[in-house]
Structure 1
Amino acid sequence: MTRTTPARPVSVESLFPELAPYRARTTRLHPRSGRPGMHDSHVGGPMLWPDGEPWPLCHEPHQPESEGYAPEEIRRARAAGVWPQSRPWSSRGAPGRDGPVPFVALAQLFRRDIPGLALGPDGADLVQLFRCPFTHGPYLERRYRLRWRHARHTEGAERFLADPPQVPMLRWEHELPEPCVLHPEEVDTYPWAEDDTLPAALIASIDAWDDAQAAEHGPDALSYQYDLSIPPGWRVGGFPSWASTGPMAIGCASCATAMQVLLTAEGYEMDGGSHSWVPLEDRDPLLTGQASIRGGQSVAQPTRLRFGRDRDLHVFTCPADPGHPPRWVLA
């Protein structure tokens, strides 16, 4: 089923004509629970991984853990609609004690499915995203990894890895992605309006409009950030959202070029502040506001993943040279 973002409640450029030069396209991925295959773009499905190629491993020290969840128990609990039971962590398989830890596969994206996906090194058109399941250092930092591929060459492999290595326990239930198929849809977006992301006079006009809306309509008022600029959920390209940190300048560590957003991963596809973005196929036309959202957790949090304290994970790459190391920003 396709997913269709409703027209914005008001025309952004009619309110603020100065925004027209800043308009950009982003691809909403609309992940929904399903059974993706290794040749599909997906979140949480099987990776297109040639047999015999080493699986990515995290070799850094990890924070010790005392309890966690077995992946199979997480899957059974989700199928039953209950919360999984945590259990003490055995010394065998505990993070940091038995050598390298395999990364968990989060998503893979083909450019043939998502035309807005930027090309990788040497024109690579398939990107795979991984996360270490454990934390690092006193600030509980996470480690991510990208694997770029040429889809046609990779699909020509004789055999593919059927059973990637897995850790026996995960620290949190939300470390295990729910297999999701994608329903890509391109929409117009506009920059986050704060600090120097837009001209100061334009930001002042946006803030004044927001204040007037709040004064007239109260808690149900429209706002630029929530309703008119950047959609929630998983998306490719467009602009980063900065709700938790405020805008940040993200430069390439190799050449100092301003980096661009390749991908944004978010735990929630919608919430009380962003219900105007709920696709038409996921809302009850007889209701309004948050009450119109239908589908429960399978729509509101389809991937079951979380990033930081419910932040957005922005994956930045260098437009001058996609082979330069990416940067990972929680915002």
Structure 2
Amino acid sequence: MPGIDEWARPVVELNPAPGEPTAADSHIGGPLLWPADEPWPHCDGSTHEGSTDSPSAHAVGVRVPFVSALQLYRRDFPELPFPADTDVLQVFLCTLRHERNWGPDVHVVWRDTARVTTTIAEEPRPELQEPDLAPAPRLLKPVRDVEYPMLEELPKALIDSLEAAQEDYDEFFDTWPDVATGSKIGGWTAWWQTGPGPGPECPECGDPRRQTLALATHEPSGDDVGWEFGREGVLNVFMCPRDVNHPFEVHID
């Protein structure tokens, strides 16, 4: 299809599967390679959602430890935009609901494993958490592909030209490739509740942030992780393509 190649993006579907991950593995919900001499990250509790009778409401203003959500090594996922001198991405969730997105807060660490000499003996666990935000341990069986956006994200002029090039109008829409709805890195956003909009701009440099990571309520394989985001949706993390250390945006859809 003329004009569509520039919209192709590599995607890696994480394809989580039951297992017993270690700190040496890429995984969801397993132990992290965390230095013993580095403080474990905590959520300060200032934005815990307090309007309902829930664990989150009882933790408003309460400092709680983040929970290990995801660990991805560069050797397994070179597609990630690792900063120089880092080789593992560690993602944490505050497993309480927050006012801004009715979901977890997200904390990200890019780490150089060569600088980790002694690892933490035991990861702290929150005394209060929403059970449906806590992940079960999963190993990853990645599947690599190329992904195109939903038609709603393409410029109208391009859609018109693509339609004109097709002999069968209905077949064009019916055969347009789906956006992966499971947990993944890269690719495009699987909008289904709010619909696509302009990409959030990086507040530091102004570049449009891009879909970098998605954590899904439901996996295509049926091996769900156990967390639920929004109305059985996907937690999407948009990062600045110029510098992933710039502030990122989280959107649950």
Task: Check whether TM > 0.5.
Answer: yes
Which category describes the TM-score, using the shorter chain as reference length? 0.7 to 0.9
Q: What is the aligned partner in structure 2 of residue 108 from structure 1?
A: 71
Matching of residue 258 in structure 1 with residue 234 in structure 2: no
CA distance in 2, matches of 1:253, 1:123: 25
Q: Tell me, which stretches of 5 or more residues in structure 1 are unaligned?
A: 1-15, 69-88, 215-220, 271-298
Counterpart for residue 218 of structure 2: 268
Q: Specify whether residues 209 and 128 from structure 1 end up closer, same or farther in structure 2 by C-alpha distance, changes over 3 A only.
A: farther
| Alignment of 1:63 onto 2:49 | yes
| Distance change in 2, residues 1:229/1:209 (3 Å) | farther
Asked if 2 retains the 8 angstrom alpha-carbon contact of 1:210 and 1:223, the reply is: no
- Judge conservation of contact 1:124–1:150 (CA < 8 Å) in 2: yes
| CA 1:50–1:58: 2 relative to 1, 3 Å | same
Aligned to 1:161: 120
1:67 CA drift (Å): 5.2
In structure 2, what is the Cα distance between the partners aligned to 1:148 and 1:165?
Answer: 20
Aligned to 1:148: 110
Task: Please list every run of 5 or more consecutive structure 2 residues that lacks an aligned counterpart in the other structure.
Answer: none
Q: How many residues align?
A: 248
1:307 aligns with 2:229: yes
User: What does the per-residue CA deviation read over 1:187-228, in whole Å, with 9 as the maximum and x for residues that have no partner?
Assistant: 01111211xx3231443556x9997259xxxxxx9453xxx1
The CA RMSD measured in Å over matched residues stands at 2.8
In structure 1, distance between residues paired with 2:100 and 2:146? 40
- Larger fraction in strand: 2
Conservation of the 8 A alpha-carbon contact between 1:180 and 1:302: no
Closer/same/farther in 2, CA of residues 212 and 32 from structure 1, 3 Å limit: same
Q: Residues 88-103 of structure 1: matches in 2 within 5 Å?
A: 94-96=58-60, 99-103=62-66
Partner of 2:189: 240
- 1:1-331 matches, within 5 Å, as 16-61=1-46, 62-64=48-50, 66=53, 94-96=58-60, 99-120=62-83, 122-137=84-99, 140=102, 142-154=104-116, 157=117, 159-171=118-130, 173-194=131-152, 197-204=153-160, 205=162, 212-213=170-171, 222=174, 224=176, 228-248=177-197, 249-270=199-220, 299-331=221-253
Q: Relative to total residues, which structure has the larger helix share, 1 or 2?
A: 1
Name the % identity.
Answer: 30
- The higher radius of gyration belongs to 1
Alignment CA distance shift 1:324-1:19 (3 Å): same
CA distance in 2, matches of 1:115, 1:32: 20
TM-score using structure 2 length:
0.86
